[in-house]
Amino acid sequence: MTMLANSAAARDIRYQIHSQTNIRQHEKDGPLIITRGEGAYIYDDSGNRYLDAMSGLWCVSLGYSDTSIKEAVKAQIDELPYFHLFAHRSNNPSIDLAEKLIQNSPGMSRVVFQCSGSEANDTAVKLIWYYWNALGRPEKKKIIARKRAYHGTGIASGSLTFLPNIHREFDLPIDRFLHVTCPHYYREGLPGESEADFVRRMADELEQLILAEGPETVGGFFAEPVMGTGGVVMPPEGYFEAIQAVLDKYEVLTVSDEVICGFGRTGTYWGAEAVGYKPDMITCAKALSSAYLPISAVIVSEKIVDAMREQSDKVGVFGHGYTYGGHPVCAAAALASLNRYEELDTTRNARETGAYFQKRLAELKDHPIVGEVRGIGLMAGVELVRDKKTKAPFDASVGAAAACSRFALERGLVTRNLGETMSFSPPLIVTTKEIDIIVDTFREALDQTLAWANAKAAA
Ligand code: PLP
């Protein structure tokens, strides 16, 4: 790529370090600079338009031009740009937002605010430890998550995550974090194993791990209802009921990481409802404010609050919090987003337009390099394979999914390759017409990927 010495691209390379990016490659190729957004579309600095079928990073649920959020943010900045929640201080937007979240979260009692999904999961880990300390069981601190999970990249949230590049060079996971098999029947099911047997094996594996570690040492369990970054992995039928029985038996606190699934993405308000998961805590971020401003929340049940009250009697203040937790402007953006979801009934759109999306994507099952199409509501994954029959993936060095993502982008469609899975998470306001554009354009990208991979193999 040729670029002017003082262009934005050159300065980006000169001054920024990008997340989940190969620095050497970035210095060679430079950034794609997005300058403007409208509805489900974004525009780059050369004026090219793209349909963003990823909602940024699964987050811009109301699209890029929601006026009600913009107005709420402006009004709040004019009124009170900042005040914190430390030491008995409060602000009105955080109170209103907490009330709304509890109204929308059956069985939950209180909310702790932070700024990101990683922070929310870090807070949830600390709350689990705080809870067991409060109950006088300080040994019950180990936390179980699943392979291929993504819960963030902090020290604790990155330890919950189980993806090679989040762990390898950072000496993660730290002690106390354990991982069980990813419940992906297509990849992890044994030859001849039924889905019901697979679920039983997953529940048995979890129970055996808890018994081997000692139930008195296992305090918490984290799961995304539908795994996102791990490749949009749908839990098999009956999975959450089966593992929840094990977790309840050994008094393990459960957390539903709703950072992607929350606020309607799966066609129900919380992803947990869609998959039959009954958590003690919910973590959420992203769509909480449609990503217009950074905010996240941990929503906890009364039994956690009870323990916290008792601990306050013993030790005094709850020694946790962030300067920007409950930031009034971010809370105003979130409140406007939640109101807008209700006004537009976006959960219903995720269910209905989502059903159309899943039906159209299922047409791609006949494509020679499509192994599995999976998803729910407005989230979906299409796993690429070199050989449909054996499920053999393309060699990682081929970079087929990355190429597919590039070919889609050249056609004006943003998707994201996660491992060998192409992922989709369009805004919750997406229309059936836009779904047609997504699927039709994606099929063209798949065709080009096949031709490209064949040419590469023949070379
Ligand atoms: N949890 C899930 C399920 C996520 O998908 C993500 C981010 O993609 C996170 C947590 C971390 O959120 P953040 O990047 O805001 O720290």
- Domain boundaries, position 418: 32-65+345-458
| Residue 190 counted as domain residue | yes
Query: Do 333 and 429 have their domain in common?
Result: no
Q: Is the per-residue pLDDT at 235 higher than 60?
A: yes
Question: Cβ distance 225 to 256 under 8 Å?
Answer: yes
| Residue 300 counted as domain residue | yes
| Residue 229 counted as domain residue | yes
pLDDT range class, residue 25, cuts 50, 70, 90: very high
Supply the pLDDT for residue 356: 98
Final residue belonging to a domain, choices 283, 311, 344? 344
Task: List the residue whose alpha carbon is closest to atom 13 of ligand 1.
Answer: 117
Query: Do 131 and 244 have their domain in common?
Result: yes
Q: Kindly report the CA angle at 452 between 448 and 455, in degrees rounded to 5?
A: 140
- pLDDT tens per residue, range 76-99: 999 999 999 999 999 999 999 999
Query: Do 404 and 376 have their domain in common?
Result: yes
Supply the pLDDT for residue 53: 98
Choice from 258, 260, 292 to test ligand 1 binding pocket (greatest atom count within 8 A of CB): 260
Q: How far apart are CA 389 and CA 191, in angstroms?
A: 13
Mean pLDDT of the chain: 97
Ligand 1 centre distance from Cα of residue 201 (Å): 28
Query: Do 296 and 430 have their domain in common?
Result: no
List all residues whose CB is within 6 A of at least one atom of ligand 1: 57, 116-118, 121, 150-152, 224, 228-229, 257, 259-260, 285
Q: Is the per-residue pLDDT at 261 higher than 60?
A: yes
Sheet containing strand 370-376, strands side by side: 370-376, 379-384, 421-424, 416-418
Q: Is the per-residue pLDDT at 14 higher than 80?
A: yes
Ligand 1 centre distance from Cα of residue 273 (Å): 20
- pLDDT tens per residue, range 198-221: 999 999 999 999 999 999 999 999
Q: Kindly report the CA angle at 108 between 316 and 275, in degrees rounded to 5?
A: 135
Query: Do 317 and 181 have their domain in common?
Result: yes
The number of domains in the chain is 2
Query: Do 299 and 403 have their domain in common?
Result: no
- pLDDT tens per residue, range 292-341: 999 999 999 999 999 999 999 999 999 999 999 999 999 999 999 999 99
- pLDDT tens per residue, range 323-332: 999 999 999 9
Query: Do 106 and 252 have their domain in common?
Result: yes
Q: Is the per-residue pLDDT at 234 higher than 80?
A: yes
2-16, 148-162, 424-438 — which is least confidently predicted?
2-16
Q: Is the per-residue pLDDT at 2 higher than 80?
A: no
Ligand 1 centre distance from Cα of residue 285 (Å): 8
Supply the pLDDT for residue 1: 57
Q: Is the per-residue pLDDT at 3 higher than 80?
A: no
Q: Kindly report the CA angle at 11 between 10 and 12, in degrees rounded to 5?
A: 90
Query: Do 254 and 207 have their domain in common?
Result: yes
What is the share, in percent, of the chain residues with pLDDT greater than 70?
A: 100
Query: Do 127 and 49 have their domain in common?
Result: no
How many other CB atoms are found less than 10 A from the CB of residue 428? 30
Query: Do 141 and 40 have their domain in common?
Result: no
Final residue belonging to a domain, choices 293, 312, 344? 344
Ligand 1 centre distance from Cα of residue 114 (Å): 13
**β-bridge pairing 41-44 and 142-146:** unpaired
- pLDDT tens per residue, range 243-255: 999 999 999 999 9
Choice from 118, 121, 265, 296 to test ligand 1 binding pocket (greatest atom count within 8 A of CB): 118
- pLDDT tens per residue, range 391-422: 999 988 889 999 999 999 999 999 999 999 99
Query: Do 385 and 407 have their domain in common?
Result: yes
Final residue belonging to a domain, choices 310, 327, 344? 344
CATH of the domain at 382: 3.90.1150.10
Query: Which ligand 1 atom is at minimum distance from the Cα of 119?
Result: 16
Ligand 1 centre distance from Cα of residue 347 (Å): 20
Query: Which ligand 1 atom is at minimum distance from the Cα of 116?
Result: 15
Query: Do 56 and 91 have their domain in common?
Result: no
Q: Is the per-residue pLDDT at 163 higher than 90?
A: yes
CATH of the domain at 238: 3.40.640.10
